[in-house]
Amino acid sequence: MSNAFGKGHHLHLIDGSAFIFRAFHALPPLTRKSDGLPIGAVAGFSNMLWKYVQDAKGADAPTHVAVIFDHSAKTFRNDIFADYKANRPPLPEELKPQFPLTRDATRAFNIACIEIESYEADDIIATLACQAREAGGRATIISSDKDLMQLVGDGVTMLDPIKNKEIGPEEVEEKFGVGPDRVVDIQALAGDSVDNVPGAPGIGIKTAALLINEYGDLENLLANADQIKQPKRRQTLIDFADQIRVSKRLVQLDCDTPLDFSLDSLEIADPDPEALLGFLTEMEFRTLSNRVAEKFGAEAPAIPDKPAASSTDIAAGPDWPPVDTANYQTVTTEAELDTWIASIAGFGAVAIDTETTGLNEMTADLVGISLCTGAGMACYIPLAHVSGGGDLFDSGARLDGQLALDLVLAKLKPILEDTAILKVGHNIKYDWKMLARHGIRMAPIEDTMLMSYAMGSDLFSHGMDGLSERVLGHKPMPIKDLIGSGRSQITFDQVPLDKATPYAGEDAEVTWRLWQTLRPQLSPTAVTTAYETLERPMVPVLADMEMAGIKVDQEHLSRMSNVFAQRMAALEDEIHGLAGAKFNVGSPKQLGEILFDQMGLQGGKQGKTGAYSTSADVLEDLAAEGHDLPARVLDWRQISKLKSTYTDALQTHVNADSGRVHTSYAIAGAQTGRLASTEPNLQNIPIRTEEGRRIREAFIATPGHKLVSLDYSQIELRVLAHVADIPALKEAFREGIDIHAMTASQMFGVPVEGMDPMIRRQAKAINFGVIYGISGFGLSRNLRIPRAEAQAFIDTYFERFPEIRAYMDQTIANAKRDGFVRTIFGRRIPTPGINSSGPQAGGARRAAINAPIQGAAADIIRRAMIRMPDAIAGLPAKMLLQVHDELVFEVEDGATDRLIDKARTVMESAAEPAVQLSVPLVVDAGIGNSWAEAH
């Protein structure tokens, strides 16, 4: 088919830019392993081209093909209208270096690659489509861009590559309400916010279609605009006629782009396997090169699956062999240990992992330590292994041949505390605490879990096994293989050494490799500062807080449990009486059946499971209608919750040695940068009800001490005022005005003095709603007011504080562009699902709006906590707890005022010097013998 393009020929025109952006947003931020070059969009683009090449054979196969790109942002349309496409967000940094590579990819596939200065891809596509048509052939535009739809018809069709659906004249008419030949008229009228085509204000596609169908075309419409019946519409068309004509010139695609090649040069040709595989190998696309090689019957190119040496003194080794767990040394002599110590000192860094008898660092015992200084260079130092269960007589006896724990720790201590030697761990807080219990305070440290967290990838969890599998392509042996699970589970000290050494050594080596791999990626993802100032320094601070624990009055809890038990029994009797039957009050299923089936109360089925909802909301509504049973169930549930989750459970967490409760904080637990508290969770101790607040009386200071609580006042609203730059809000915070009253005053025009508490409550709900990405529905439910009323509140709010809207729009745009948002301190927070459609999209948007606010507040208190130990070093005081915006200290009786003074200063200036907030931070303080008194 080498004759000139004409009848029987079929030209495919691929919208290259659309492919690139789709690839960029569809894929996680992949980087080339050898040098960290961002490569995700190129990878996706190449995959799409490969798929295209595979599919483009068959009945309706193209004879000619080209991929068309935009050359640069500035085009001749900017001469027509300076602001054309002016509100496009800037290109993501990671994407920029990928543009030239997508051209290389196109050429590697042996497909014509076309771009022309000062013309858009759309112009070139239009011109080529025209030429194909005039030559008597056909053209298919592979794109879903609505701007190209005007070209459809008469031998030209479009193909939506996502839905794999053809777009013909019918589909165009469905979208625009007119045929392809009038699409530009519609676009000229309706404008386009994405491309910043102004159009006519207040006229959308629907109205435009109505008008064009009535008047035939745009010129006729404008000429007869004075006959339009609707006065506003008439005036708009008369006033904005010029702007509409300019808009038409912006959207109109002509067939006169100067081309220096002919259609014939676009004739399809098979790719040259060598060139294609060369390109894919250079990009290090393993899967795709294998596929391509298989197709061509060529040998799959070798792509090293190891990262290259990073810019560090410590050689990573250019060619890591696969992890080999068979040859790790079991260190059992002093000489061996000394050799390792000398080697670590020489390397200047060591990956370390501790093996223990349990998951709780406060109660587990140290069993052994593994170390790694490079690929294949790992050892395990057993310290407290015992003989296994196999031998009844010997079981539980300490195994011979192990070095003494005290000796090993004494020898390791200088290395582990040497400021010139890095200690690398995965979740190193655990190991830090294990060693701190033996008097070793490791420094300096690195934590690969926190590196992964700081990078803010939503691709995988930050646990070592998952991270290793995905980052290193290596699946570590599961701990279950050694200790089993369930009833027959043993502790690590019972694991025989020939199994313990490979396992423990592997953990250290994987940690080492993760460190070598992740650390060079901190900088390209611009999270080095976040990692170094917000994550890593938290480790020793939290470890100290967790080890300190808080004193709990166990008898107080026990007494409360007894009281609660009696009240629950009484309530159960009453409930059974009201129901006329005995049932498990704690079973939502049984309760639902009693309420809605037996008693016939109103309240529909909910959710996928078809079960009735018996949530507090539902029960409260029923109680308000005067039903006693749901009211009693609500009482029962409150007591039951307090008993089972707090008064009972807390007692079991009192440490036998310290008599205190030691929580554990997850640094990488929450997406937003907040901490999470577990075992027990001390961040959700009741306070909102009088009943629950009494549980806080059980958290007490040790004799001669007080508990001091300092909490940030309205920190999230202050952060919002700063990041969204809302003058009215900032002013109020600077003046120290009641912020909710101010909001109410602004919205409802009432004076702050003598304000109705009801009005203030509504304003408060709106203020919080804004932080969460408010909706009329949500607010109406929260305030129990009609939806329309709630929506009116929100409208007024946005009118009074227009900056909020701008902030929200900007944040969502950033999230869509990058797949993450950042706090003002540089923390990166992933926004998964932000580019999805469907019901989850709304949730993703609200999360994206909330993340920089909640995250910045989390950053601020982290910064305060990190500085706190030094700031209060001279005082007889310990920091014990963090509850998101509150810090709790235990302080000697005479030092409370000095502590408050120091701690408050640190907290109120915590944002500085990184960020100079435009609102003051205010910290309230309280002192008491119990947490209830102090808060």
Partner DNA sequence: CTAATCACG
Partner DNA sequence: GACGTACGTGATTAGC
Within positions 554 to 593, which residues make up the interface with DNA, using CB under 7 A? 584, 586-590, 592
Whether the CB-CB separation of 516 and 323 falls below 8 Å is answered with no
Note whether 746 binds DNA by CB under 7 A: no
Note whether 467 binds DNA by CB under 7 A: no
State the minimum distance, in angstroms, from the CB of residue 634 to DNA. Answer: 7
State the minimum distance, in angstroms, from the CB of residue 330 to DNA. Answer: 33
Note whether 642 binds DNA by CB under 7 A: yes
Q: What angle do CA 574, 578, 581 make, to 5 degrees?
A: 95
Cβ distance to DNA smaller for residue 460 or 777: 777
State the minimum distance, in angstroms, from the CB of residue 2 to DNA. Answer: 49
| Site of tokens 């940030």 | 712
Span interacting with DNA, options 280-288, 454-462, 517-525, 760-768, rule CB under 7 A: 760-768
Span interacting with DNA, options 338-346, 556-564, 686-694, 907-915, rule CB under 7 A: 686-694
Note whether 169 binds DNA by CB under 7 A: no
Distance, CA of 557 to CA of 645 (rounded, Å): 12
State the minimum distance, in angstroms, from the CB of residue 794 to DNA. Answer: 8
How many CB atoms are located within 10 Å of the residue 695 CB? 21
Span interacting with DNA, options 345-353, 452-460, 688-696, 919-927, rule CB under 7 A: 688-696
State the minimum distance, in angstroms, from the CB of residue 647 to DNA. Answer: 11
Distance, CA of 493 to CA of 522 (rounded, Å): 37
Residue from the set 385, 637, 662, 827 that interacts with DNA by CB under 7 A: 637
Note whether 702 binds DNA by CB under 7 A: no
Residue from the set 57, 641, 734, 761 that interacts with DNA by CB under 7 A: 641
Cβ distance to DNA smaller for residue 128 or 557: 557
Three-state secondary-structure class, residue 695: helix
Q: Is 632 exposed, middle or buried (0-12, 13-18, 19+ CB in 10 A)?
A: buried
Beta pairing, strands 699-700 & 923-928: unpaired
Strand (E) positions, 667-761? 676-678, 699-700, 705-712
State the minimum distance, in angstroms, from the CB of residue 750 to DNA. Answer: 21
Cβ distance to DNA smaller for residue 523 or 584: 584
Span interacting with DNA, options 536-544, 762-770, 812-820, 913-921, rule CB under 7 A: 762-770
Q: Binding marks (x or -) toward DNA, 354..393, rule CB under 7 A? A: ----------------------------------------
How many CB atoms are located within 10 Å of the residue 794 CB? 20
**Rule CB under 7 A: which of 185-244 touch DNA?**
206
Note whether 634 binds DNA by CB under 7 A: yes
DSSP 146: G
State the minimum distance, in angstroms, from the CB of residue 587 to DNA. Answer: 3
The two structure tokens encoding residue 95: 């994407």
Note whether 606 binds DNA by CB under 7 A: yes
589 alpha carbon, distance to own chain's centre? 34
Span interacting with DNA, options 316-324, 503-511, 605-613, 699-707, rule CB under 7 A: 605-613
**Rule CB under 7 A: which of 657-676 touch DNA?**
666, 669-672, 674, 676
Note whether 247 binds DNA by CB under 7 A: no
Cβ distance to DNA smaller for residue 9 or 827: 827
Distance, CA of 344 to CA of 381 (rounded, Å): 14
Cβ distance to DNA smaller for residue 607 or 704: 607
Note whether 827 binds DNA by CB under 7 A: no
Three-state secondary-structure class, residue 366: strand
Cβ distance to DNA smaller for residue 76 or 777: 777
Cβ distance to DNA smaller for residue 121 or 619: 619
State the minimum distance, in angstroms, from the CB of residue 209 to DNA. Answer: 12
Q: Is 285 exposed, middle or buried (0-12, 13-18, 19+ CB in 10 A)?
A: buried
State the minimum distance, in angstroms, from the CB of residue 488 to DNA. Answer: 16
Sign of torsion over alpha carbons 439, 442, 447, 450: positive
State the minimum distance, in angstroms, from the CB of residue 577 to DNA. Answer: 20
Cβ distance to DNA smaller for residue 765 or 906: 765
Cβ distance to DNA smaller for residue 21 or 768: 768
Note whether 486 binds DNA by CB under 7 A: no
State the minimum distance, in angstroms, from the CB of residue 571 to DNA. Answer: 14
Note whether 609 binds DNA by CB under 7 A: yes
Sign of torsion over alpha carbons 649, 650, 656, 657: positive
Which amino acid, one-letter code, is at 726?
I
Backbone angles phi, psi at 331, to 5 degrees: -85, 115
Beta pairing, strands 64-68 & 10-15: parallel
Residue from the set 193, 235, 689, 836 that interacts with DNA by CB under 7 A: 689
Span interacting with DNA, options 159-167, 500-508, 608-616, 719-727, rule CB under 7 A: 608-616
H-assigned helices in 56-151: 77-80, 99-108, 121-134
All residues at 6 or more sequence positions from 262 whose CB lies less than 8 Å from its CB, including other chains: 5
Distance, CA of 451 to CA of 668 (rounded, Å): 10
The two structure tokens encoding residue 791: 């929506």
Note whether 811 binds DNA by CB under 7 A: no
Q: Which of 107, 155, 119, 115 is nearest to 5 (CA)?
A: 155
State the minimum distance, in angstroms, from the CB of residue 478 to DNA. Answer: 13
Note whether 649 binds DNA by CB under 7 A: yes
**Rule CB under 7 A: which of 61-120 touch DNA?**
none
Q: Binding marks (x or -) toward DNA, 765..804, rule CB under 7 A? A: xx-xx--xxxxxxxx-xx----------------------
CA contacts within 13 A on the Cβ side of 283: 30
**Rule CB under 7 A: which of 828-857 touch DNA?**
839, 842-843, 846-847, 850-851, 854
674: left (phi over 0), alpha (psi -120 to 50) or beta: beta
State the minimum distance, in angstroms, from the CB of residue 671 to DNA. Answer: 4
Which amino acid, one-letter code, is at 436?
A
Whether the CB-CB separation of 721 and 918 falls below 8 Å is answered with yes
Note whether 269 binds DNA by CB under 7 A: no
All residues at 6 or more sequence positions from 517 whose CB lies less than 8 Å from its CB, including other chains: 33, 307, 471, 472
Cβ distance to DNA smaller for residue 626 or 839: 839
State the minimum distance, in angstroms, from the CB of residue 605 to DNA. Answer: 10
Cβ distance to DNA smaller for residue 37 or 666: 666
- DSSP assignment of 504-551 equals HHHHHHHHHHHHHHHHHHHTTTT-HHHIIIIITTHHHHHHHHHHH-EE
State the minimum distance, in angstroms, from the CB of residue 589 to DNA. Answer: 4
Strand (E) positions, 584-667? 660-661, 664-666
Residue from the set 338, 406, 679, 795 that interacts with DNA by CB under 7 A: 679
State the minimum distance, in angstroms, from the CB of residue 165 to DNA. Answer: 18
Distance, CA of 362 to CA of 547 (rounded, Å): 7
Span interacting with DNA, options 284-292, 434-442, 607-615, 751-759, rule CB under 7 A: 607-615
Note whether 680 binds DNA by CB under 7 A: yes
| Site of tokens 């109505």 | 210
Note whether 681 binds DNA by CB under 7 A: yes
Distance, CA of 415 to CA of 300 (rounded, Å): 46
Q: How far apart are the first and last CA of the chain?
A: 84
Three-state secondary-structure class, residue 673: coil
913 preceded by cis ω (within 30°)? yes
The two structure tokens encoding residue 157: 């069709």
Cβ distance to DNA smaller for residue 7 or 688: 688
